[in-house]
Structure 1
């Protein structure tokens, strides 16, 4: 049942979307390194707690601050938390944070709302940055409706399948060059329990539009489903969407990791690193951590393209990028940090300090031409680049779409919709309700959004 009978103007939609993003935050207080705001020779950076970001935090003082005199105050939070905090600060233009990690989902929307500082003027004056070296899909995904750049990528990624070569070999199994999801499910069943405490596969079950819904939506796409058809009709009750979700839920319940409803990227990375799962479908950026010098599974991992059913490819396109708040009082110094953190120079620093497999790659053509990187990241670097360059954000499925996005729908309301739907599906993974019940509720949620867009 639809709860609204008339369409609101576009400005109201944006305000409503911002309101839904901010609602969880209004009842509590947030504290972090940002303090009372930046100024002088200090900037505040709010970022996600992914391994590459934590490495950046460790290297900043001894290198960036030592070179420029600019102190960087970091606030580092888990993915769901950081998204909420960024949306609060940027939507209100509070100016507490000069720079934040934003994705190619948020940046076009934030730019449209006037929350971001354009970067073209800085790029034009920064001869050492080499913007043309940034891979075209990354540049395009961080460009606003006005054709201006509003973000610079820290790293880029697609998605692929990671698997233990030694475990499959011991079982007499071979991973197909281009696996289907059914083939992956069959292998998961055969390697489940191959070693003590090892499950067949890790798939995200943690609620969040950028957690569970990211890999699951790529499965929906290749199974022939879509969130909305070209006329903005909600399609979560379609046979294709239902088949994809049931497949995913059944696979993770039967052969997936322990505690799946609480497992996101970080938990699956830990499970794969510690030998608790034989396979993992997730972000290509995970490979650097798996192949790091101290990783127990370095050299044991094989990589295959994102599994498919009805499409030729199914990998997502994603970048954690730097966005500069329009209200920042220190935008020049903020750009200095962004320029350094996304530069060739920084990649070389990581390669020297932590090993080339840890480089935040997926954003620059020169990375893949670097012999040091190619040597150390040989197991995954070419497949990562191919996955990024073959991603199709405007045409990811079998039918036309009304908005861009592979693992998301590029509208402001998706953060709230995707998170609510993910909560329903995570409950199905936990066994608290059926997939049919989860999708019935989810379809109603999607219909409320569809009504706002129908006829456009």
Structure 2
């Protein structure tokens, strides 16, 4: 399945793969297969995921699907804790225990590819061909591995910046429509404010190591991972990684970003940091858009405006890498056709109906999607629709190469070296060279 150089890395027991983490648009003709409706037999399929059924509107989605497909019932199987990392552990245990599974959701392609290599995931090419579907014409995200489609993309999560409008105006700043990372840090410095011994930081970078190499990870379309796209070389010694490190150290030196030591020691989370107004600005993904309008647990008390992802160079195009959930069919499912029917329907009509995320489906009406997301929030007036649509319409969505299945091992190495730089004053150059050497050693051991 994978290229020869990448093929031997996963000859391990299944349980060792416990990785760490975190008006309706109408589908086109033939969007949903008629599979599973050839007889009056009612088939029940299991949808395994980590979401909350009611809060994330899965109850609405499933009810509509079952209405349109009366011979298919959907069992929603979730811990409902919104913790995808724990989900993967439970998933691997369920597979090892021989549990019946049908639809498996993945938070990104890296976790899917790990299990596709083990033969857990059913390729969908034959189903798509039967329905006359050209994948590239339908979806922005690319979910192919070595030319085969192993899942259909649900939400499309692309990088963008959310900003507290009050803080922006207070600092006398214009909402940026096209900016660089250097300008981003200037904005962060301008919005930082200390009052009564308490500091409100201009920006917050979360503890996830993806924020350690954010310039490369969020916006670089080619070679955005910790290996080159062919999986053969370490990809640390480059301008995008250097810029990422420089930004993080700049935020520390200027006091414009929440100190990394506080982020890790206090186990801070980006949601309360932003919504409690302890920070003014976040680099995040479009998955967070609904929450900027408030939820039952955290109502929105201020208006959020949106800016595109910053660029390394002023002349670069506005672009952002796209990731997001992928829905796959378990290779040992007893109801593969019915499972495919659901994921095809959900990845088109269903996700629009859900009203929670920007879909990867190209034929969705973006204005309608945004209206649904805003209307479904607790405080819809707190989401600035104009700036949100500007970002979504003017950002080029790019799909990067799927990371090698041992990517988590590489991120662990990077995190160790990153911590030394941020907490022990190790310089950028030695951090890059040490990480490059260690990751290359791991790559060579897998070949």
**Same fold by TM (over 0.5)?**
yes
Q: CA deviation at 1:191?
A: 0.9
Partner of 1:434: 426
Task: Name the CA distance, whole Å, in 1 between partners of 2:10 and 2:303.
Answer: 47
1:90-117, Cα deviation, whole Å (9 max, x unpaired):
6x59455422222233445644553211
Look up the SS of the partner of 1:14 in the other structure. Answer: coil
Which among 383, 388, 391 is matched to residue 391 of structure 2?
383
Which among 137, 140, 152 is matched to residue 140 of structure 2?
137
Which among 52, 60, 75 is matched to residue 71 of structure 1?
75
Distance 1:113-1:126 versus aligned 2 partners, 3 A rule: same
Query: Where does structure 1 lack aligned partners over 5 or more consecutive residues?
Result: 1-7, 25-39, 352-357, 394-403
Task: Name the CA distance, whole Å, in 1 between partners of 2:228 and 2:135.
Answer: 35
Matching of residues 247-286 of structure 1 within 5 Å = 247-251=247-251, 254-257=255-258, 259-261=262-264, 267-286=269-288
Task: Name the CA distance, whole Å, in 2 between partners of 1:299 and 1:131.
Answer: 43
Which among 97, 100, 105 is matched to residue 104 of structure 2?
100
Task: Name the CA distance, whole Å, in 2 between partners of 1:245 and 1:220.
Answer: 15
Task: Name the CA distance, whole Å, in 1 between partners of 2:282 and 2:66.
Answer: 38
Look up the SS of the partner of 2:365 in the other structure. Answer: helix
Partner of 1:12: 8
Q: CA deviation at 1:23?
A: 7.9
Task: Name the CA distance, whole Å, in 2 between partners of 1:95 and 1:299.
Answer: 46
Which among 327, 331, 336 is matched to residue 336 of structure 2?
331
Q: CA deviation at 1:164?
A: 1.8
Task: Name the CA distance, whole Å, in 2 between partners of 1:415 and 1:241.
Answer: 18
Partner of 1:396: none
Distance 1:433-1:135 versus aligned 2 partners, 3 A rule: farther
Partner of 1:189: 189
Q: CA deviation at 1:322?
A: 0.7
Task: Name the CA distance, whole Å, in 1 between partners of 2:7 and 2:122.
Answer: 20
Task: Name the CA distance, whole Å, in 1 between partners of 2:391 and 2:227.
Answer: 30
* Larger CA deviation: 443-452 vs 40-49: 40-49
Task: Name the CA distance, whole Å, in 2 between partners of 1:153 and 1:23.
Answer: 21
Query: Where does structure 2 lack aligned partners over 5 or more consecutive residues?
Result: 21-41, 375-384
Which among 204, 207, 210 is matched to residue 205 of structure 1?
207
Contact 2:156 2:324 in 1 (8 A): yes
Partner of 1:5: none
Look up the SS of the partner of 1:271 in the other structure. Answer: helix
Look up the SS of the partner of 1:184 in the other structure. Answer: helix
Which among 410, 418, 436 is matched to residue 417 of structure 1?
410
Q: CA deviation at 1:278?
A: 0.6
Look up the SS of the partner of 1:72 in the other structure. Answer: strand
Matching of residues 154-165 of structure 1 within 5 Å = 154-165=154-165
* Larger CA deviation: 367-376 vs 66-75: 367-376
Task: Name the CA distance, whole Å, in 2 between partners of 1:98 and 1:331.
Answer: 7
Structure showing greater relative contact order (alpha-carbon pairs closer than 8 Å, 6 or more residues apart): 2
Task: Name the CA distance, whole Å, in 1 between partners of 2:247 and 2:137.
Answer: 37
Partner of 2:379: none
Partner of 2:361: 363
Contact 2:53 2:76 in 1 (8 A): no
1:221-267, Cα deviation, whole Å (9 max, x unpaired):
59x99744589443535576344323224426733347423799x93
Q: CA deviation at 1:446?
A: 0.6
- Provide the TM-score with structure 2 as the length reference: 0.72
Distance 1:364-1:326 versus aligned 2 partners, 3 A rule: same
Q: Does 2:265 match 1:288?
A: no
Q: CA deviation at 1:345?
A: 4.1
Task: Name the CA distance, whole Å, in 1 between partners of 2:369 and 2:244.
Answer: 41
Task: Name the CA distance, whole Å, in 2 between partners of 1:252 and 1:363.
Answer: 40
Contact 2:161 2:283 in 1 (8 A): yes
Q: CA deviation at 1:329?
A: 2.8
Q: Does 2:343 match 1:322?
A: no
Look up the SS of the partner of 1:15 in the other structure. Answer: coil
Contact 2:306 2:388 in 1 (8 A): yes
- Provide the TM-score with structure 1 as the length reference: 0.71
Q: CA RMSD in A?
A: 4.3
Distance 1:235-1:60 versus aligned 2 partners, 3 A rule: closer
Look up the SS of the partner of 2:359 in the other structure. Answer: coil
